[in-house]
Amino acid sequence: MRVSKIGKYLSRLYVQVLIGIVAGILVGHFYPDIGSQLKPLGDLFIKLIRMLLAPIIFASVVVGIARMNDLHEAGRVGVKAVLYFEVASTIALMIGLVIVDVIRPGSGMNIDPAHIDSSSIASYTHAAQQHGMLDFFMSIVPNSIVGAFANGEILPIIFFSVLLAISLAKLGPRTAPFVDMLDMFLQGMFGVVRIVMYVAPIGAFGGMAFTIAKYGIGTLASFGQLMLCLYLTSIFFVVGVLGLVMRLCGLSLWKYLRYIKDEIFITLGTASTEAVLPQMLIKMEKLGCSRPVVGMVLPTGYTFNADGTAIYLTMAAMFVAQAMNIHLTIWDQLLLLGVLLLTSKGSAGVAGAGFVALAATLASMHKIPVSGLVLLLGVDRFLNEARAVTNLIGNGVATIVVARWEGALDMNKARAVLDRQSAGSDIDALRPAGREAQERPVSAEETLLRSGTH
């Protein structure tokens, strides 16, 4: 009996991912030569998920909006989402700025800018020069929709999907067969995700083993104060700010975190929120958020609502200034805040977005040397885990907020789902009883949720 309980516990996805993370840390620390060669395991898992993102986002947005009864609803949802994104990001930036000013993790390092070799960050500084606000807005419209799909560019895909969905909605009922076909295609994509998720623990193992092997646990000690500062600030933001937001929505943050625990651990192991976007789309809809809101808010939030990245940007910029003994007045810091409000959006979707945004910010201020980013290279991977998890939680909360604001959240269903100990119980609660339950085919979403919790 006890063995069967242990087996059932070990079969849960978040437990397997957690085991993979711990195993990766041990291998990376004690066998660095082996750990440094395991990066392809993590990269392969991320690549498998990215392979599915474009079609899933496209189908989700098109099906959701095309089935809306009122096109004004789509515009209203978009405006509310952007408004919430801006408020949340600004609060995150301000909290990060205040805490880094109080704790001052960079003080005492006494780094001389003249002795820093900036060649290792050349690619980031070059990318920062190529991605201003104008370039960002221009990049929303793709040169070719085929190219956008091929390159997995989320914003251009969302833009095209919204236009197509509006067009289909205006054409009326005759487009229903095409929309139904897209819906069936979406179910098939979720089935593929279910298969891919079996290798999530291996991906987390490979990613963590490589990180520890390359940078070493000693890196954690050297920059321990900065890491501790970022992690504690992220926890404060999630518990204090997002917890209050969830309470205003009438739901429990703790129950929500338990509901998405699989996704949190996968993000922690892979340092990528993209790895769990398909699952989050499913879980937010199962939570009671309407499909149009989920399809519009969640993917868009990946670009515009990076709360964890906002906290990181202020802390990283101030850390570099403190390490180089550069004094910033209150006006300098307010200027930094204003610039970050722009650059944090302008570099979204770019590889190494956090570093690109930071490089663009420092270059525009002309007060903190861009070369100071070298100080963060060794520890950035560890910092990325905190900001990725915060981004994940924040985007789920944003979806709930907009759905509640729009009156598109089934509160009874949401409370019923969150009151259960696991997402697997959610499936049992939603399944009809008796013969109907036995005859009804299990959907791809339900199968995926089951694979993540049992």
* Residue range 293-343, pLDDT digits in tens: 888 888 888 777 888 888 888 888 888 888 888 888 888 888 888 877 766
Which region among 34-48, 111-125, 183-197 has the lowest average model confidence (pLDDT)? 111-125
- Are the C-beta atoms of residues 400 and 244 closer than 8 Å to each other? no
The mean pLDDT of 55-62, rounded to a whole number, is 85
| Other beta carbons within 10 Å of 64 | 25
Of residues 288, 266, 231, the one with CA closest to residue 407: 288
Q: What type of residue is 436?
A: E
- Are the C-beta atoms of residues 208 and 360 closer than 8 Å to each other? no
SS3 (DSSP) at 379: coil
Which has more confidence, 165 or 342? Answer: 165
Which residues have a Cβ under 8 Å from the Cβ of 191 and sit 6 or more positions away? 444, 447, 448
Options 3.30.200.20, 3.30.300.180, 1.10.1660.10, 1.10.3860.10; which CATH number does 2-453 get?
1.10.3860.10
The pLDDT tens digits of the residues spanning 430-440 come to: 333 333 333 34
Which residues have a Cβ under 8 Å from the Cβ of 64 and sit 6 or more positions away? 165, 290, 291, 292, 293, 294, 295, 296
CA distance 64 to 424: 25
CA distance 63 to 147: 22
- This prediction's pTM: 0.76
Q: Residue 82: is its pLDDT beyond 90? A: no
